[in-house]
Structures are given as C-alpha cells and as structure tokens.
Amino acid sequence: METTLRGVGVSHGVAIGEVRHMGTAVLEPPARQIPAEEAEREQGRARQAVEAVAADLIARGNLAGGEAQHVLEAQAMMAQDPELMADVERRIAVGSTAERGVYDAFAAYRALLANAGEYLAGRVADLDDVRNRIVARLLGVPMPGVPDSDEPYVLIARDLAPADTALLDPALVLGFVTEEGGPTSHSAILARALGVPAVVALPGAGELAEGTVIAVDGSTGEIFVEPSAEKRAEMESAAAARKAALSASSGPGATSDGHKVPLLANVGGPGDVPAAVEAGAEGVGLFRTEFLFLDDSKQAPSEEKQVAAYLAVLEAFPEGRVVVRVLDAGADKPLDFLTPADEPNPALGVRGLRSLLDHPDVLRTQLTALSKAAQGLPVHLEVMAPMVADRADAKAFADACREAGLQAKFGAMVEIPSAALRARSILREVEFLSLGTNDLAQYTFAADRQVGAVSRLQDPWQPALLDLVALSAEAARAEGKSCGVCGEAASDPLLACVLTGLGVTSLSMGAASIPYVRVALAKYTLAQCERAAAAARAADSAEEARVAAQVVLSGE
C-alpha cells in the first residue's frame, strides 16, 4: 500500500528504486589493558592508521575533484589533528590498545564539539566518520560506507559523511535519503553538485526495509513508499518533461518579460569551473577562497600560490563577473595561524572579517594576489568580505582593498541580521551586497545549519528571512547598487522567482542548479515574481510561504 513521507528536499530530481542501507558504523572496540612494553608498538599502529586514513581521504578528494575535494581535505586535517593524536598516545601510554585509544580520544573530542554550540556540533558527523575509518583499519574490518550493488538503488542512511557522498556513482545511486542533516549540510551541497536527487531530515528513514521500492522527489522532499503504477508513471513523466525543458534551456537568466537576472556559480576553486561553464553560468557569484587556505592550517599559502589559483578561475570567465569572498576562517573552518583555539562559541566569536582585521598581513597578501591575478584580464572582478556586522566593518575592508591597490568593486556579505537591518549604512562604504542565506538563517533563528532537528528554521522560505532579504534589496535599490544572493536559497527554482520579486539583482548557486533556475525564471514576468514575493512575506511559516508563492505563480 502506497504511503507518503516528507523530509526536506535538497537536490532536484526524481529517483525510483529499491532501498539499500549504508553500512553499519564500526562497533566499539573492547576495553582491555596492554602491558607497558607494548605501548610504543600500539602508538605506532595508531599513527600508521591515522596517516593511512588521511591519505585515503585525500585520494578520494583527488578523484572527486571540485568542492568535494576541499571538504575531504579538511576532513583529512581533522584526522591528523596533533592535539587529538597526542591524546590518543597518552591513552595508549596508560594501557589502552590503539583502537581503544582512538575511540576514547575521539569520544572526548566529540563531546567538546557537541557542547561548543550548534555550529561546531554540525562537525560531529564528519568526526564520527574519521573515527570509524581509523578504528576499522586498526581492527582489520571493512570500512563503513556505501553498500556494494550491481543494480541501481536508493541509498538510506542516518547521515552521509563527505567521504561517502563525494564518490557516489550516479549510475548506481539513484538518490539518497537521510534521517539527519539540513538543506545546507555538506551532504546536501555535494548532492546538488553531483546532480543526485536527495531528501534529508526524514525521521524514521532507517526503518524503511531493505529492498522496499520508494520514489524520491528531491524538489518537494516527498517519499512515496511502494508507489502505485500510476504514481510512478506520473513522477517519471514529470521528470522527463523537466529534463527536456532543461536541455532546451540556454542563454542569460531573465524573466519572461526580459528582466535580466544574471545566474552565477558558487565555486570552491579551479576544479569547480568546468561544471559552471558547462551549465552556462554567467560568471561566479561566490568564489570560496578558504579552501585554498585549508591545505595547511599552520600557515597561509604564499602569494604566488594564491595568484595561480585565482588566475585559473578568472581566466575561465573572460568579460564575465567573478565575485571573490576573501578568507572566511573560524567556526567550522579553524586555522591554527589565524583563529583562536579557546573560544567558547567560535560561531559567535572571531571569524570571517574579524579574523582578517586581526591579521592584516594575511588580508593584504590575499588582496595583493587577487590584484596581480586580475591584472590585464577583461574580467569584472568584485571582492567581498564575510561576516560584516556594520558600517565600521565595511569601511575597514574597503580601506584595506584601496591600500592594496586593488582595482575592483568592494562588497559586503549580509550574513548577520544587523547587516540587513543597516544595509543602507553599509552601502555608503561598499559598492554591492551579497546575501549568504545559509548563515543569515542560522544567525536569525539560532539554528545550526548542520542539525536536522532544527532544519525547519533553516528553511530559506521562512518569512522572517525573506523580510531581511527584502530590506537588503530595498537598501541597495535606494543607493543605486546591486544586491545578489549567493546562499543555497538561490538554487530553489521557485524561491529564485520570489527572490527576484524581492528585488535581488543576481543569483548564485551550485552549477547543477543553474538550468533549473533559468527555466523557472523564464516562465514568469517580473510582476508575477513580485506578487509571489509579497504573498510569501505575508505568510506565517515557511510551508505557507512556499504554497502562497506557488498559488500566485500557477494562477490558481
């Protein structure tokens, strides 16, 4: 009998297939004492296992490329954390086996993360995955991970670690469903990059029996268990129609009456550029430069290395627009040379622009490298600062750009509610705004973007968040300047129309979402988008806002 479940749709498309469950986590190793003379050997085993797992994560990243590579490299750094390794060795020195020392040291670190505020708690899944891989290697058992199957299937998991998501084979994994996670979790972002339909935050997903046929709608978040023949045909027909429309889609983003809405790509480095170009991106709306810095947490990359990385992206978009975010370190992206190690809540501490202003040499080197990379190129370079709170922040960043001789537009990201509320003041110092809706939602609702339990508050359709977007866009229009969106909200085709109606002047997203958004915008006039935006803001919940916008745009 067909039943319907609902989670949070995070990656477009339809998947119909049999359920396969993610391999189980590593069992807790037994606690037994070892003789003192074996401690050195066990410490060596632990070090070898850690290095092997880190090397495997890096190798997986090299195979995956793009944004997945950066995420996996960061996870490898987590495995090699010197303080964590020192704790492992201390535990072995007083009698633990290598596997038990690793298990207990990671458990202690896990507790610290879980209690360090919701932002850092979102890294727990990544940490658990690293622990499981190290313990599995020490025990000599198979790694937890994606099941072996010769037939295509829908993957079910409590959560998916980046190492697993990055190497999913779309020919076999038709889609995936997780019990935890949110619309801006690592797994959701990588699913969109892969073009795999995905639904997260579905309570009870693990109870779906192995082999059960389900139909997954990655747009609506609906899961149909044992779908009827009629339902399958309906979903397959809709998917085929959508695919045909996407294939016919090309050209710049615009509404049906010709209102231009440039569609840009979010990239983490040169590896993400080919997909952006293939999708018809009109430029880059968010170049996340922090992944270049995560290669070595001990020191910043040289100016020469930065110039080479920036040049590879800038050259891909001749005469296009490339918006670069300077280093956004702190919180879940700590750097030993830049961010404090003892903050009680790093998400609310010295991160983003605050870190850079405390280390002006790091900011100056990055701005100089950007200036050199853009020299002589016809590209339209724009540089923006993360975590701008007020006009003083904006002025400090603009002054630093001018002092570095940067010939570019200077902008500010709106990720803190104060920046949206005082956007017009900030725009007296900079030339554009870019809304990071992921963090803006997180700070507006006090809801960590990685925690499934609060995913409803991370929904970008929340009317309060739309109000802040509207405030920012209205301020930019009043000052005669631009205001784009570079958060994951822009990847939702229906919401993209609403954002356009709110006055947003450009949309930036993962490359895989660009064709979907282009097709959606081309269906409606600007006036229709404005009416849909007004209806969404008048609602009292995210779901009501989504339905209200849909009703307006469908003409019902």
> Which residues are catalytic, by number?
186, 486
Q: Are 22 and 160 in contact (CB under 8 A)?
A: yes
Residue 230 exposed, middle or buried by CB count within 10 Å (0-12, 13-18, 19+): exposed
Q: Rounded distance, CA 136 to CA 431, Å?
A: 52
Run of H or E residues at 273: helix 273-278
Would you mind telling me the total number of residues written for the chain in this entry?
556
* Residue 538 exposure: Cα atoms within 13 Å on the Cβ side: 10
Q: Rounded distance, CA 14 to CA 347, Å?
A: 35
Q: Rounded distance, CA 397 to CA 353, Å?
A: 8
* Residue 332 exposure: Cα atoms within 13 Å on the Cβ side: 21
Q: Rounded distance, CA 352 to CA 347, Å?
A: 10
* Residue 303 exposure: Cα atoms within 13 Å on the Cβ side: 12
> For residue 328, which of 450, 486, 474 has the smallest C-alpha distance?
486
Q: Rounded distance, CA 134 to CA 139, Å?
A: 9
Q: At residue 450, what are phi and psi to the nearest 5 degrees?
A: -100, -5
Q: Rounded distance, CA 95 to CA 348, Å?
A: 39
Q: Rounded distance, CA 109 to CA 521, Å?
A: 46
Among the residues of 302-380, which ranges form H helices?
Answer: 303-314, 353-358, 360-374
